[in-house]
Amino acid sequence: MRVAFVHYWLVSMRGGEQVLEALSDLYPQADIFTLVYDEKKISEKLKRHKITPSFLQRIPGAVAHYKKLLPLMPFALESFDLSSYDLVISSESGPAKGIIPAPDAVHICYCHSPMRYVWDHYHTYRANSGTVSRALMPLFAPRLRQWDVSTSARVDVFVANSHHVQHRIAKYYRRSSKVVSPPVQVQNFLPAEVSGDFYLCAGQLVRYKRVDLAVEAFKLNGKKLVVVGEGEEMARLKATATPNITFLGRVPFNKLKELLSQCRALVFPGEEDFGITPVEAMASGRPVIAYGRGGVMDTIIPNKTGVLFEDQSTEGLLQAIEYFEAMEGQFEPLLIRQHAQQFSAEEFKGKMRTIVEVELDRRASQKAHNSASLTEYWAHEQFEGLSSGPNAALVQ
User: What pTM did the predictor assign?
Assistant: 0.86
Question: Phi and psi dihedrals of 263, rounded to 5?
Answer: -70, 155
Inter-residue contact 73 to 56 (CB < 8 Å): yes
Inter-residue contact 388 to 380 (CB < 8 Å): no
At 387 the pLDDT is 60
- Give the span between the Cα atoms of 285 and 295, in whole angstroms: 19
Write out the H or E segment, with its range, that includes residue 246.
strand 245-249
**pLDDT band of 295, cuts 50, 70, 90:** very high
**pLDDT band of 133, cuts 50, 70, 90:** confident
**pLDDT band of 81, cuts 50, 70, 90:** very high
CATH architecture of 186-343: 3-Layer(aba) Sandwich (3.40)
Specify the DSSP class assigned to residue 130. Answer: -
SS3 category, 268: strand
pLDDT above 70 coverage of the chain, percent: 93
Instruction: Tell me the per-residue pLDDT of 154-180, one tens digit each, with 9 for 90 and over.
Output: 999 999 999 999 999 999 999 999 999
At 395 the pLDDT is 47
* Sheet hosting strand 3-7, strand order edge to edge: 51-53, 31-34, 3-7, 87-92, 106-111, 157-160, 178-179
At 101 the pLDDT is 96
At 368 the pLDDT is 79
Inter-residue contact 212 to 237 (CB < 8 Å): yes
State yes or no: pLDDT of 394 exceeds 50: no
**pLDDT band of 392, cuts 50, 70, 90:** low
At 369 the pLDDT is 76
Nearest to 241 by CA among 211, 264, 263, 266: 211
CATH architecture of 3-179: 3-Layer(aba) Sandwich (3.40)
Average pLDDT over residues 90-111: 94
Average pLDDT over residues 201-219: 94
At 116 the pLDDT is 83
- Number of alpha helices (DSSP H) and beta strands (DSSP E) in the chain: 16, 13
Nearest to 275 by CA among 305, 240, 252, 245: 305
Question: Phi and psi dihedrals of 128, rounded to 5?
Answer: -100, 10
State yes or no: pLDDT of 366 exceeds 70: yes
Beta-bridged to residue 226, according to DSSP, are: 200, 246
At 73 the pLDDT is 94
- Give the span between the Cα atoms of 223 and 213, in whole angstroms: 14
Q: Which sequence spans correspond to the domains of the chain?
A: 3-179, 186-343, 345-395
Instruction: Tell me the per-residue pLDDT of 53-77, one tens digit each, with 9 for 90 and over.
Output: 999 999 999 999 998 898 999 999 9
Instruction: Tell me the per-residue pLDDT of 310-339, one tens digit each, with 9 for 90 and over.
Output: 999 999 999 999 999 999 999 999 999 999
At 14 the pLDDT is 87
The least confident of 84-88, 125-129, 228-232, 281-285 is 125-129
Instruction: Tell me the per-residue pLDDT of 233-253, one tens digit each, with 9 for 90 and over.
Output: 999 999 999 999 999 999 999
Average pLDDT over residues 204-209: 90
Average pLDDT over residues 102-112: 96
Domain pair 3-179 / 186-343, same fold: yes
Mean pLDDT of the chain: 92
**pLDDT band of 214, cuts 50, 70, 90:** very high
Question: Phi and psi dihedrals of 155, rounded to 5?
Answer: -100, 130
State yes or no: pLDDT of 91 exceeds 50: yes
The residue among 324 and 123 whose pLDDT is bigger is: 324
Write out the H or E segment, with its range, that includes residue 123.
helix 122-127
**pLDDT band of 378, cuts 50, 70, 90:** low
Inter-residue contact 329 to 280 (CB < 8 Å): no
State yes or no: pLDDT of 215 exceeds 60: yes
